[in-house]
Chains A and B, each alone.
Chain A
Amino acid sequence: MERESSSNNEQDEWSASECGFNDPEVQRVMRGGSAAEDITQYPIHGWVDVTQEFHEACAELLPGELAQDMLFGLFEAMSAIEIMDPKMDVGMGFDKFDLPPPSFEAAVAMGAIKLDALEPAELIGIFDALFACLVSWLEGNSMDQVLFTCLYLHAPSQIQDKALRVFCIAVRNLIVVIKNIIILAAVNEEEDFQLYGNSALLAAEKAQPATIAGQLKDVEDELVRKCKKLPPAEDQNLMAVVHRLRFMRHLFQAIYQVELMASAESAEEAVNEIYKNLNVASELLPLIKRTIERGTQPVEGSEAPNPMGFSPRIHDRSQPPTFPRSIKIRERPASYQFLEEMVARFKYACKVIRHKDYYSALVSSSWLSSGILFYLSCLLQNFFIEYSRKSGHCILSRSVLQNLFSSSIRVAHGKQSMKRFLRHSVQAFNSPPVLNLKHPVASDPKVQQHLETFFRYCINMNTFNQFIRLCGFNRARQRDKLAHLIENFDPLQVDAVRLDSLMNQMANERAMEGNELHATALKHSTHFSTWVLYNCFRAMLIYLMSGFELELYAVHEFLYIYWYPYEFLVGFLVSALTRTENILLAQEEYAEHQSKMQVNGGGGGAGGKSRKAAKPKKNKKQQRPYRQEIIYYHALLSLCGGMYKAMGALTKDGRVRLPMSKFDNEEIRYNRRFAPFVPLTSPPPVSYVEFKSIRDHMMLCSVEELYSMAAKHFDQARNVLESIQNPEQEILDLLQIARTNFVVMNVLARGHQKEVKRQPEFDFSKHSYFPIMKLK
């Protein structure tokens, strides 16, 4: 306030505000004296109404002209909430409801909510609305704005109606349990889930999750008895109430047991118990969905999810200022749909954990069955990747899997769980004899020491752990975190290579000593480096391809995105797998004829040329553990090649819209897309210049040639995919993509639509990595 009056006579001095303190916090302190300024001190001088002058003054400004406070900048402008905007503003709509939102006590006093003798229809309405709130909470809304708009949840113990009371207590306990699970898994981000809410409300009544199931069961039994006394035509509504209570009981039990797993003795038993509960819950859901309309329905135009018991704006004024205000609670049928899918995902998660136990039990028994082992461990990791794709935005599903996994490996392997898990992972991948406890070489102290160092290093780097954890995050964050994870693989690779060479060195020493058995076991070992590389390649591939799913790439960028896996990544994966397969086969052979072994036949890890290695020895087909995966990657290779050449052809044909050249710098974009791969020494980064020369070479061909080359790739992919027996849905989808694109490429090669240079449509709806190209 003094600034203006003093500015005249203190022209030589800098006032504080002129010194460029643009930080809003500083600004605030300077202006108000303290950050927690008391608004009630105003007016100090008095309010002067200048409305008219203000109108006139603003009218003098030119369109686009701004009058600004000197401390006001872009940052402040961006952080401003638009008042009266329905999405941002709490004030919006307050005048629609003249009365302040009633609290629980007020509502009881007014007689707006019933505490006793609720009709079945009312119960169904409230239960359905609460499930809808629960789902909305899991979708990322604040629990205050969804669940705690239900006044009944504020004080369940005061409710006399037993069914409602027990249900409300169950919901409150469920909130606590779900929160714990999500906190424990720690794969949530602010956009997924609001951890914070009105915990003061939760604290008022003690949580006793262990008693919930019993209480629910009692009420159920009571209601069922009541049902039996009613004439058969009238018991329908009451049975619908019972179904909801029962569903709640089983869902609660399942989720509660996931939380308990953290301290459980036997993982298998717990998982079986969870699975049983989930089964019952999923059987109840169709019954519940059919009776939704038996309950009271929300009033048209009202924000409350149910006419009685909800007060949608009760917490509006207790939320932080910039909090989203307008909450849409899910519709009831959609909520049950969500729950149904969630239960199905939980069941799926349980299944793999059971597999997982099976697998760890197998590991100790025999190393000859490594094929199955690998399949299972592969299943586990693929599973995590797959699961992450399916569960998408459901934070609870993702958290549950993480918890099931971490507690089951803890139970399976005890204290040193991660080290054991990693050992098993390598063993399952390529079964190095040094990890096989029955093999005499495993007890060699020197070998043990080296292994110990390597695994400790792996654990300290935390890379593998993170890879699995990472799959729990939502897809966008996953990609972000993968970029950092890939970097970590580099030191691991260095260490794994060192370990391998140490093993080879020791093989020579043992051979000199005449210890033939140990020498062969140690010789030609590339086990560990292959294992690390394989994982690294996969992380890279997921990183690159997830950009399609997240719609990050522009069409004109597709060319180099597909080029990289075609030229390098997928090929590397195939050769890593082929090499591993050869090692395994060689080991098996060696075990079969202990004396006459032909290790040099293929065990040498000579970096077998992928295309040749997959085909020979037809009689060994069943024993080739990687066959499926190699075939799959071959198909990916052809598809990537097809897309790469197709993009080249379309670009040359002038069918791809390119950015205006003066705004464009392809090198920068290229470098940015592959930035996370730069720190890796293996595979070495590929510079833009290299890419450019390869592309320019390809572009020498005529457009027609390019189209037919692309068609050839798609044809190859089709052939490979068709050879897969009992294909999964993904394979069938890829097959359709390969077929359609083959036809499109052929059509274009023949000069169809030669005059109209329209960009084809890229439809990623069948598969997140590969589009179907559509000519308009």
Chain B
Amino acid sequence: MSTEQPPAESAENESKFKPMIFTNQPDEETDVKLSPGRRNLKKWLGRMVRVTLKNKLTLIGIFSCTDHDQNLVIAHCDTFLPDDMTALSYGNVMVPGNEIVAFEVEMQQETATPDEKKTN
């Protein structure tokens, strides 16, 4: 039965969705070709990030994945209620992009002066 079907139809059935994934795998050659935003993301991936949500909940964990809509996946995530230093461990967390108010990365501030290094 399947052989009778014209090849055109099978092409139609194929998904038009092509997954595109880039990772923070060190690769000098392609790095140059990447757009500045992607290069930034590449720099941040795998680092600790602090994300503040609309409801003032703070999440701290490893920045693992994001997409066009700013949906985030944070690995080994701990959450903090406002004004409460006790962490609640969550494991891996998916954050809907529209909930994010602030996004901070734990790293040396390349452009900033040494005084401003510790913003916290």
Q: Which residues of A contact B (CB under 8 A)?
A: 1, 3-4, 7, 15, 18, 24, 27-28, 31-32, 37, 39-40, 42-51, 53-72, 76-77, 79-84, 90-91, 94-95, 317, 321-322, 661-662
Contacts and interface: CB of A to CB of B under 8 A. Distances in A.
A360 B87 CA distance: 61
Contact of A81 (B22, B86, B94, B103): B94
Given A62-B20, A66-B67, A49 B91 contact: no
Nearest to B22: A67
Contact of A51 (B67, B102, B108): B102
B20 A49 contact: no
A662 B13 CA distance: 12
A412 B75 CA distance: 58
Nearest to B112: A48
B106 A31 contact: no
B42 A72 contact: no
B70 A46 contact: no
Contacts of B41: 57-58, 61, 67
A81 B47 contact: no
Contact of A46 (B25, B66, B103, B117): B117
A42 B70 contact: no
A24 B22 CA distance: 20
B2 interface: yes
A37 to B, nearest CB: 7
Classify the secondary structure of A's interface with B. Answer: mixed
B37 A61 contact: yes
A731 to B, nearest CB: 44
A66 B23 CA distance: 8
A42 B87 CA distance: 12
Interface string B83-96: 00111111111111
Given A46-B109, A48-B105, A55-B70, A68 B17 contact: no
Given A45-B117, A68-B45, A662 B68 contact: no
Given A28-B76, A66-B19, A76-B92, A61 B68 contact: yes
Contacts of B75: 24, 27, 69, 72, 76
Of B10, B26, B45, B81, chain A has the most CB atoms within 10 Å of the CB of B26
A70 B119 contact: no
Contact of B99 (A31, A37, A84): A84
B87 A39 contact: yes
Contacts of A70: 23-25, 45-46
Contacts of B119: 46-49
A77 B45 CA distance: 15
Contact of B37 (A42, A59, A71): A59
Contacts of A60: 35-38
B11 to A, nearest CB: 13
A94 B79 CA distance: 12
Contact of B90 (A44, A81, A84): A81
Contacts of A71: 46, 64
16 contacts: A47-B120, A51-B100, A55-B70, A61-B41, A64-B20, A65-B22, A68-B22, A69-B24, A70-B45, A77-B65, A80-B92, A80-B93, A82-B96, A95-B55, A322-B91, A662-B5
B40 interface: yes
Given A1-B107, A80-B92, 16 more contacts: A18-B26, A39-B87, A40-B87, A42-B60, A43-B118, A43-B120, A50-B105, A51-B102, A54-B40, A57-B38, A59-B37, A59-B68, A60-B37, A63-B68, A66-B66, A67-B41
Contacts of A64: 17-20, 67-68
Contacts of A94: 55, 57, 81
A28 B47 CA distance: 12
Nearest to A47: B104
A37 B77 CA distance: 11
A64 B97 CA distance: 14
B38 A48 contact: no
Contacts of A55: 70
Contact of B67 (A7, A15, A46, A61): A61
Nearest to A319: B88
A101 B112 CA distance: 43
B78 to A, nearest CB: 5
Contacts of B107: 1, 45-46, 48
Nearest to B111: A48
Contacts of B20: 62, 64-66
A58 B108 contact: no
B93 A81 contact: yes
B38 A76 contact: no
Contacts of A82: 93-94, 96
